[in-house]
């Protein structure tokens, strides 16, 4: 299954953390890293905190969505992710944005990511690598969704 992932960090050496997280993803059984975007500096959403570094990646996986989520959460833990408050600062944040053309709705996983179509920090790097991928609920290409959001505060690094 082809899946799109969102990556973010705003604590520590964020660019280094994202590079190492991508390397670790590549080492995991059942996951093949196909494409990655450039890194982007982005303004945070939520409580006052440092700016983020965000990126997106496309992987091919033989894992189930739940197993991929488990791998991503274990990887976040490897990078000392601590969940103190919603939308708070973090060393590493990994999200499943898209799962093929499927819609998934589980208690701990909703795909497509419920807020991705509203977020420039997701759509800018995602459109860079998969502009024609159709959002399975909205029926629009990522590049078209990008045209509808405010992308100020999203800067290439």
Q: Is the pLDDT of residue 47 over 90?
A: no
Q: Is the pLDDT of residue 86 over 90?
A: no
Active site residue 29: no
Phi and psi at 29, nearest 5°, equal -65, 135
- Active-site option among 95, 119, 132, 150: 95
pLDDT at position 25: 95
Q: Is the pLDDT of residue 46 over 90?
A: no
What is the per-residue pLDDT across 22-40, written as a single tens digit (0 to 9) for each?
Answer: 999 999 999 999 999 999 9
Which domains, ranges and CATH numbers included, belong to the chain?
Answer: 2-156 (3.30.70.560)
- Active-site option among 93, 108, 115, 150: 93
pLDDT at position 81: 67
CB count in 10 Å sphere of residue 152 = 8
Active site residue 20: no
- Active-site option among 19, 20, 81, 144: 81
């Amino acid at each position: 299954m082809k899946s799109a992932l969102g990556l973010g960090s705003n604590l520590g050496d964020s660019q280094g953390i994202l590079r190492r997280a991508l390397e670790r993803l590549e080492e995991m059984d059942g996951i093949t890293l196909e494409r990655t975007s450039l890194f982007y500096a982005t303004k945070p959403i939520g409580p006052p905190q440092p700016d983020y570094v965000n990126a997106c990646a496309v992987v091919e996986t033989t894992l189930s969505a739940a197993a991929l989520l488990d791998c991503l959460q274990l990887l976040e833990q490897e990078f000392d992710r601590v969940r103190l408050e919603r939308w708070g600062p973090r060393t590493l944040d990994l999200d499943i944005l898209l799962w093929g053309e499927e819609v998934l709705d589980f208690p701990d996983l909703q795909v497509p990511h419920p807020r991705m179509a509203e977020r420039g920090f997701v759509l800018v790097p995602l459109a860079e690598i998969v502009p024609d991928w159709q959002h399975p609920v909205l029926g629009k290409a990522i590049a078209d969704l990008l045209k509808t959001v405010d992308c100020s505060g999203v800067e290439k690094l």
